[in-house]
Amino acid sequence: MNKRQTRLFAIASTAIASLIFLVLTLDSHRQFPTLTNADTITEEVVRGQHVWHAYNCINCHTIFGEGAYYAPDLTKITQLRGTPYLTAFMKDPSQFYDEERHRRLMPNLGMSDQEIADVIAFMDWVSRVDNQGWPPRPILVTGSAIPGADLTIAQQAAEGQGIPTGLPPGARPVTADNDPIALGEALFRTAVPTCQACHSIAPGVNLAGPSLAGLEAYYEQIVASGEYKGKATTAEEFIRESIVEPSAYLHPGPMYSAEGTSFMPTNYGEDLTEEQIDHLVAYLMSFK
């Protein structure tokens, strides 16, 4: 190529690259309203965004991968924890984490009830934005793995995040596809919110919810002690009741409920079929 050809080549390739860039940018902007569900941005969501800025949540947290890496990514937090839990957490975070064990704490920001409700609405809107899998490997809250994300709890544990897994004694390894226990195990990961964001099946590992190992023995124990006031007459029924109507019997401890209401989400009774709940019960009954 002579000088003139080189110049032409440079100009043409720059022009083509710019054009592609422009078209893709315009195309992205065209898609934003759909990807972000722009029609669901209510006044509450907007107020919540102001709360988010006013308290500088981003100084410690990330959303959409942006922000500081001191605290977990909150992009999908409302799909991991329900509103009752988040409300109680923001009122007094120190109740939920122990500085010695977790090494870091969220300060009590002194938010009003209204501000808390608004910021939850904002985070809920954020969680529904189609972010096409971004960020790929966020720092998550203790115990959680987002359904469909490529990082399992075991992988997180291997990378030093999350909690150690490994089947507890008495657990049956997962076998065939149509095995109710295997189906329950899968559902335990994929239900929305995912059960494993709050529960470990390892004995004694309590996350936002208590460990679910040995529920049969636990049920017998609370019945024998006279503490149990629900309607179940067998361990299976107790597990079903706990899933469908979490507040029927409250696991003792200030971390798990406030004013007679469990922090466990209440949508499962409606969102899961009878059969799916049977699978979860079968799975949880398999940990002796």
Does residue 126 touch ligand HEC according to CB under 6 A? Answer: no
Closest CB 171 distance from ligand HEC, rounded Å: 15
CB 62 within 8 A of CB 135: yes
> Among 23-31, 80-88, 152-160, 169-177, which window interacts with ligand HEC (CB under 6 A)?
80-88
Does residue 198 touch ligand HEC according to CB under 6 A? Answer: yes
Does residue 287 touch ligand HEC according to CB under 6 A? Answer: no
In angstroms, the CA 288 to CA 286 distance is 6
Contacts 24+ apart (CB under 8 A), 212-218: 212/284, 212/287, 213/168, 213/287, 214/287, 214/288, 215/239, 215/284, 215/285, 215/287, 216/285, 216/288, 217/288
Does residue 191 touch ligand HEC according to CB under 6 A? Answer: yes
Q: Which is nearer to ligand HEC, 33 or 254 (CB)?
A: 254
Does residue 250 touch ligand HEC according to CB under 6 A? Answer: yes
Chain center to CA of 197: 5
Nearest to 72 by CA among 140, 151, 145, 163: 140
Q: Which is nearer to ligand HEC, 6 or 115 (CB)?
A: 115
Phi-psi region of 160 (alpha: psi -120 to 50; beta: other; left: phi over 0): left
Closest CB 216 distance from ligand HEC, rounded Å: 11
Does residue 77 touch ligand HEC according to CB under 6 A? Answer: yes
User: Which of 29, 30, 39, 107 is close enough to bind ligand HEC by CB under 6 A?
Assistant: 107
Q: Which is nearer to ligand HEC, 195 or 202 (CB)?
A: 195
**In the block, residue with structure tokens 């299976």:** 236
In angstroms, the CA 240 to CA 281 distance is 6
User: Which of 45, 49, 73, 74 is close enough to bind ligand HEC by CB under 6 A?
Assistant: 74
119: CB partners within 8 A, 6+ apart: 48, 51, 52, 55, 57, 90, 111
Does residue 89 touch ligand HEC according to CB under 6 A? Answer: yes
* Contact positions with ligand HEC (CB under 6 A) in 200-229: 208-210, 212, 215, 218
Residues at the interface with ligand HEC (CB under 6 A): 51-52, 55-57, 59-61, 70-72, 74, 77, 81-82, 85-86, 89, 96-97, 102, 104-107, 109, 119, 141-142, 191, 193, 195, 197-199, 208-210, 212, 215, 218, 239, 242-243, 246, 250-251, 256-257, 262-265, 268, 280, 284
